[in-house]
Amino acid sequence: MAQMIVGGEHVGARSGEVMEIRNPATGEIVDTVPKASAEDVRQAVDVAHEAFRKWSTTPPAKRAEILTKAGELVREHLKDIATIETQEQGKTLRESQIEVGRIVENFEYYAGMATKLRGEYVPLAERDKYGLVVKQPIGVCAAIVPWNFPVSLMSNKIAPALIAGNTVVVKPASTTPLAAIRVVELFHEAGLLPGVLNIITGPGGVAGEELLVNPRVRKIAFTGETGTGKHVMEMAARDIKRVTLELGGSDPMIVCDDADLDAAASAASVGRFFNCGQACLAVKRLYLFDSIADTFMEKFLPKVERLKVGNGMAPDSRTGPLHTAKQRQEIEEMVQEAVDKGAKVLVGGKRPEGEEYAKGNFYLPTVLVDVPTDTRMVQEECFGPALPVFRVKDLDDAITQANNSKYGLGSSVWTRDIAKAQEAAERIEAGYTWINNLHVAYDELPFGGVKESGYGKEHGMEGLDYYLESKSIVVAGTRPSPSAERKAE
Ligand code: NAD
């Protein structure tokens, strides 16, 4: 049985209750984890609160050393962590390995920043005073993580939080805690002080909720659904906790008449079906200029047909199962509603057949056309392997349709014309626009949504700012006061 880690110790729930973690490809139990109560979570927060004084005064270079060492250990154990993740989450082993590799880069990026943190000296109106702006850690931060990228979305939070001098309580999704626990164990092997980084497991409505209401938690870093994010923000408002919210998306991809269609077709296939379509940054609405739509589809559809669905551990699988039966049902309902309203399925649109698929949550990669805009697939977030494709007459039409969404996370435009690219990048309402390349978030660039896709940033130097408070200090009496100077004259 896997355990939580609180104060550097492996612990169970006081009640002794556990939750089962099941493999989405086979339905088999992978392991169990403690089912924490609110009291268990309170204890973890108290431990993190206690550790704050020591960690916040630990020299930044030492914090960086531990983060770097943790990254090295993750790299050493990459295959094992990726295997655990594939078993609990369902994604292919290759996808898990990419994700685990990304967290090492994230740790290296923020470790490098530890010794670069600076404040400011500010001259003031009075000659005998000056101001300082110092950057201070916030305190105990809660990291609440979803199931689609269980280790990278945790790491995006813990690396900047720890480098800034905060302590952390992580709550992974109830169905994907195992790889995250392994990473937290490696931090302790890397020499992290007990209590600085804790991980608790339990249902969102109980364990997560305690993190929202606990007054000792000073910041909540949340990634998950927009609906849950709104609740997090409301609860945080009660005692003015800091929040960053990374929420749902419905990213548009626009392919213009002068685009490199081979590159765009490959990007659309990877961008929609990576992680079985369960990604916040994913091509969820594809807009093709009318004049190239047929040629594009001739290149794109065979790529989708070739994607081999299977158990994530099988080397030839290109896409795994959906994470839960409920998630598959939601995609099936969205596809059915679109078809009922007149959409046509060009590829997929059903479960794969065969004994090997009988016990898993498998669904074929699906492409649809003629999808009415009032369907859930277009209006809400389609969090699975189904893609509606639309024809547009020009760039203005494409941008108008792209912006007709409550979300604003990622987006991409494909064109060789710099003027079109500039126009799209400026007008698309999103936190990120890729021009002629794939939706990949960089450590160096701030990432976060506009509209209902979120609030605040992760990644980049901005990501670190969200774990720091700017404090102003006024220093007086360091020079003779002006009146003393006059008397002396
Ligand atoms: P979710 O909102 O159901 O759960 C996210 C986390 O919140 C889980 O750990 C869950 O246990 C916890 N939680 C649930 N109820 C809670 C409560 N009342 N109090 C505190 N915590 C609670 O989301 P999900 O289904 O796990 O993840 C999929 C969603 O995440 C999608 O909408 C996806 O777009 C979004 N997402 C966004 C980003 C981004 O960076 N913008 C990245 C990945 C996923």
Atom 9 of ligand 1: nearest residue by CA position = 173
- With a 6 Å cutoff on the Cβ, whether 380 touches ligand 1 is no
Q: How far apart are CA 263 and CA 240, in angstroms?
A: 46
Q: Report residue 308's pLDDT band, with 50, 70 and 90 as the boundaries.
A: very high
Phi-psi region at 451: left, alpha or beta (left = phi > 0; alpha = psi -120 to 50): left
- Residue 141 annotated as catalytic: no
Q: How far apart are CA 158 and CA 164, in angstroms?
A: 10
Burial class from Cβ neighbours inside 10 Å (0-12, 13-18, 19+) for residue 175 reads buried
CA of 450 to the centre of ligand 1 (A): 17
Q: Report residue 488's pLDDT band, with 50, 70 and 90 as the boundaries.
A: low
- Per-residue pLDDT tens digits for 229-264: 999 999 999 999 999 999 999 999 999 999 999 999
Give the per-residue pLDDT at 64: 98
The strand pairing partners of 133, in sequence order, are 120, 472
Give the per-residue pLDDT at 431: 98
CA of 256 to the centre of ligand 1 (A): 34
**pLDDT, the chain, mean:** 97
411-420 average pLDDT score: 98
Give the per-residue pLDDT at 67: 98
Q: Report residue 486's pLDDT band, with 50, 70 and 90 as the boundaries.
A: low
**Count of CB atoms within 10 A of residue 240's CB?**
8
CA of 387 to the centre of ligand 1 (A): 22
225's tokens: 């659904």
Task: Specify the amino acid at residue 269.
Answer: S
Give the per-residue pLDDT at 398: 98
322-350 average pLDDT score: 98
pTM of the model: 0.97
Which residues, other chains included, contact 479 with Cβ-Cβ below 8 Å and sequence gap of 6+? 127, 128
- With a 6 Å cutoff on the Cβ, whether 397 touches ligand 1 is no
- With a 6 Å cutoff on the Cβ, whether 147 touches ligand 1 is yes
pLDDT(480) > 90: no
129-149 average pLDDT score: 98
pLDDT(478) > 90: no
Q: For tokens 């906790």, name the residue.
A: 241
- With a 6 Å cutoff on the Cβ, whether 101 touches ligand 1 is no
CA of 146 to the centre of ligand 1 (A): 4
411-437 average pLDDT score: 98
Q: How far apart are CA 311 and CA 321, in angstroms?
A: 7
Give the per-residue pLDDT at 483: 62
408 sits in which H/E element: strand 407-408
Grouping H, G, I as helix, E, B as strand and the rest as coil, residue 466 is: coil
Which residues, other chains included, contact 360 with Cβ-Cβ below 8 Å and sequence gap of 6+? 23, 24, 25, 26, 27, 90, 311, 321
Give the per-residue pLDDT at 477: 84
Q: Report residue 489's pLDDT band, with 50, 70 and 90 as the boundaries.
A: low
164-175 average pLDDT score: 98
Give the per-residue pLDDT at 487: 64
- Residue 280 annotated as catalytic: yes
Number of residues written out for the chain: 489
Nearest to 271 by CA among 298, 292, 299, 250: 250
Give the per-residue pLDDT at 481: 62
Query: Under a CB-based contact definition with an 8 Å cutoff, are residues 210 and 41 in contact?
Result: yes
pLDDT(380) > 80: yes
Catalytic residue among 210, 280, 452, 458: 280
480 or 194, higher pLDDT: 194
Query: Under a CB-based contact definition with an 8 Å cutoff, are residues 31 and 13 in contact?
Result: no
Give the per-residue pLDDT at 460: 97
Burial class from Cβ neighbours inside 10 Å (0-12, 13-18, 19+) for residue 1 reads exposed
Q: What is the dihedral of CA 440, 461, 61, 153, to 10 degrees?
A: -40
270-295 average pLDDT score: 98
- With a 6 Å cutoff on the Cβ, whether 146 touches ligand 1 is yes
- With a 6 Å cutoff on the Cβ, whether 144 touches ligand 1 is yes
